[in-house]
A and B are shown apart, each in its own frame.
Chain A
Amino acid sequence: MRFLFSLFFVIIASAATAAPIKYDVNKDTSDVGFIYTFGGKDIKGAFNDFDIDVAIDFKSLKNSTVSVSLKTQTASGGFIFGTQAMRSKKILSAKAFPEITFLSKSVTGRGDTAQILGDITVRGITKPLTLTAQLFRPKGSDINERDNLIMKITGTLDRFDFGANGYAKEVAPDLKINIEAFIKKQ
């Protein structure tokens, strides 16, 4: 278990910090997941290879940045045929478009959450997307812990916006993004 480490609290508690702190992501423990609805049931999928760059300015959140790169050929649809469908030309077209990228353009904080506005590129199509982020610190860590944190990023995207419109009868258009990144100060 871990404790919610509110951004608001972080901002107050770390007023002395001057520049964004860069973090590395532990790929072994992090999970870049998503939920999609197939035949009326929610299925969990994931990307098994990814890069996430995070820089957090605890003093001025607007200076923070997040960039994410997901390797589409490692996409998993939760079961063998779901995975094959995910990577196929009808959905991610993984051979032609090996990456999904997200680059933040602005970060704003409110309460214990931050809104990350950025551009996401799927199948070569770029659209704006707003993600919600929360920071947590590991259970038992010091209240001022900033070296090792857990970042939860959530959001929703409509796959049809990116031409990923295969299996429209069986699979709903919305995908719920659910990233849990274990980040460590560089």
Chain B
Amino acid sequence: MSLRNTQTRFGLITKSLHWIIAIGLWALFFFGKYISNLELGPDNFHLIPRHKAFGILMLGLITIRILWRTTNPPPTALPAKPFEHLIAKLVHVALYILMLATPLFGWIGASATGFSIPFFGLFDIPLIWGEDEAVADLLLSLHGYSAMAMMALALLHIAAALYRHFIKRDETLRRMIR
């Protein structure tokens, strides 16, 4: 299997990044929802920096994925109706924007709280905004809404993939698996 994409197939790097990021984002989404519903105390407070560290890790992987995509275009899209291509393209663009925006909102909001962001105990992630309660409240709210929008689009993306696999019976999903 080729590491790079070809005109007809996704390469190993694209597929690996796709599935690692997909699983990571779903896990982080439910992790974030779990934390936001917790009554925080000394026993569970460590979960917040853990969420932040995984979020920064995801941001790094998403950045790599975007850079990889720009230097290594995906295979040619399989035949579909023009409006299906258009919707697919819009969803993909929106997903990439939200995959960047969601962790960035979280990073700015977390910075504005004034709390440090330890990266799994190895080092501290730089704070990119000064302590500001209003900014923290706004950006962390945006972080939550952005995450929900991203996961709604991810569901649409999954539904489209399943539609093409089970109804249209084309290679779209198989190209990302095999």
Query: Which residue of chain A has the shortest Cβ distance to B41 in the bound complex?
Result: A39
A89 within 8 A of B: yes
Cβ contact within 8 Å between B43 and A41: yes
A-B contact count (CB 8 A): 42
Instruction: Please report the C-alpha to C-alpha distance between residue A80 and residue B113 in the assembled complex, in whole angstroms.
Output: 14
B8 within 8 A of A: no
On chain B, the residues within 8 Å of A38 by CB distance are 40-42, 45
On chain B, the residues within 8 Å of A170 by CB distance are 39-41
Shortest CB distance B112–A (Å): 10
Instruction: Please report the C-alpha to C-alpha distance between residue A80 and residue B49 in the assembled complex, in whole angstroms.
Output: 11
Instruction: Please report the C-alpha to C-alpha distance between residue A178 and residue B43 in the assembled complex, in whole angstroms.
Output: 24
Contact flag A39-B42 (CB < 8 Å), given A81-B49, A89-B131, A90-B133:
yes
On chain B, the residues within 8 Å of A88 by CB distance are 113-114, 131
Contact flag A43-B42 (CB < 8 Å), given A81-B49, A90-B133:
yes
A79 within 8 A of B: yes
A52 within 8 A of B: no
A17 within 8 A of B: no
Cβ contact within 8 Å between A89 and B133: yes
B115 within 8 A of A: yes
Which of B35-88 touch A at CB < 8 Å?
A: 39-45, 48-49
On chain B, the residues within 8 Å of A41 by CB distance are 41-43
Shortest CB distance B172–A (Å): 45
A85 within 8 A of B: yes
Shortest CB distance B87–A (Å): 42
Known A43-B42, A84-B115; further 17 A-B contacts with Cβ < 8 A: A38-B40, A39-B40, A39-B41, A39-B42, A39-B43, A40-B41, A41-B41, A41-B42, A79-B45, A80-B116, A81-B45, A84-B114, A84-B116, A85-B114, A88-B131, A89-B133, A170-B40
Enumerate chain A interface residues (CB-CB to B < 8 A).
38-41, 43, 79-81, 84-85, 88-90, 166, 169-170
Per CB-CB distance, the 7 closest pairs between chain A and chain B, nearest first, are A39-B41, A88-B114, A170-B40, A84-B115, A41-B42, A39-B40, A81-B115
